[in-house]
Amino acid sequence: MKEHYLAQSQSSLTGLLKRVGSLGSLLMLTPLVGMFGPATEGALAEERLCRGSLGAITVDNLRVPANATCTLNGTRIQGTLKVETNATLRATAIRVNGNIQAENATLVNVLPGSTVGGSIQIVQGGAARIDTVQINGDLEFLSNGLRLVATKNVIGGNLQAFQNTGGLSITSNRIGGNLQCKENVPAPTGGSNIVEGTKEDQCRRL
């Protein structure tokens, strides 16, 4: 049996070498096989839905689906946190390695003790409060319709507020990039912001 198995293996290897053309060509294929392995693993990263409350657990990616309410306390997110249409997020002491992305959300509150490795992007939604958060990237408010508050945050990139219509308070933030505000009605209020770059347009006196 052992001799028969070895003969079959040798025959299979010989056939493979003939198809490839040479042992050198076969070895050249090895890096290509390795390239597909990590891509497949990345594609299988888990996305968890949040309806209700989550505590001090770790997840890959998290999504608050349309019309849902999600409360997070001490949750760790290895990838991205997404907040969808008419959804509500209340997050305290969370850690997000990637971005927080909210589009058409009703409410987004990210509260003290939270850190975000990427950016926070709140677009075409309702109200938001970003309070005492460490943000390595940017904080962006774009075309939101209700009250927005950014206070006591440490922001590695820019704070940008464009075309918001519900009022915006920007107070006591430390910003590594620029503070940029345009076409907000009413104009933003606040002050005591420390900005390493420039304060621009509607926020030049904040």
Interval 159-205: pLDDT, tens = 999 999 999 999 999 999 999 999 999 999 999 999 999 999 999 99
Instruction: Quote the mean pLDDT of the chain.
Output: 86
- Please check whether residue 166 is in contact with residue 149, taking contact to mean a CB–CB distance below 8 angstroms: no
Residues 33 and 73 in one domain: no
Percent of the residues in the chain that have a pLDDT greater than 90, as a whole number: 78
Residue 58's pLDDT is 97
Residues 59 and 154 in one domain: yes
Could you report the per-residue pLDDT of 111-134, keeping only the tens digit for each? 999 999 999 999 999 999 999 999
Domain that holds residue 32: 2-43
Residue 52's pLDDT is 97
Residue 174's pLDDT is 99
User: CA 68, CA 56: separation in Å to the nearest integer?
Assistant: 20
Q: Could you tell me where the DSSP H helices lie in 85-146? A: none
Residue 18 counted as domain residue: yes
Residue 185 counted as domain residue: yes
Residue 10's pLDDT is 46
Average pLDDT over residues 16-25: 40
Residues 139 and 106 in one domain: yes
User: CA 206, CA 204: separation in Å to the nearest integer?
Assistant: 6
Residues 38 and 51 in one domain: no
Instruction: State the Rg of the chain over Cα.
Output: 25
Helix or strand (DSSP H, E) at 181: strand 179-182
Q: State the residue for tokens 């390695």.
A: 97
Give the chain's end-to-end CA distance (angstroms, integer).
84
- Please check whether residue 201 is in contact with residue 182, taking contact to mean a CB–CB distance below 8 angstroms: yes
Residue 179 counted as domain residue: yes
Residue 145's pLDDT is 98
Residues 107 and 146 in one domain: yes
Give the residue from 71, 64, 63 showing the smallest Cα distance to 90: 71
Residue 42's pLDDT is 42
Residues 151 and 134 in one domain: yes
Domains: count for the chain? 2
Residues 60 and 161 in one domain: yes
- Please check whether residue 110 is in contact with residue 90, taking contact to mean a CB–CB distance below 8 angstroms: no
Residues 12 and 51 in one domain: no
Residue 67's pLDDT is 99
Residues 132 and 54 in one domain: yes
Amino acid at 112: P
- Please check whether residue 186 is in contact with residue 166, taking contact to mean a CB–CB distance below 8 angstroms: no
Residue 23 counted as domain residue: yes
Residues 56 and 94 in one domain: yes
Residues 142 and 187 in one domain: yes
Amino acid at 94: I
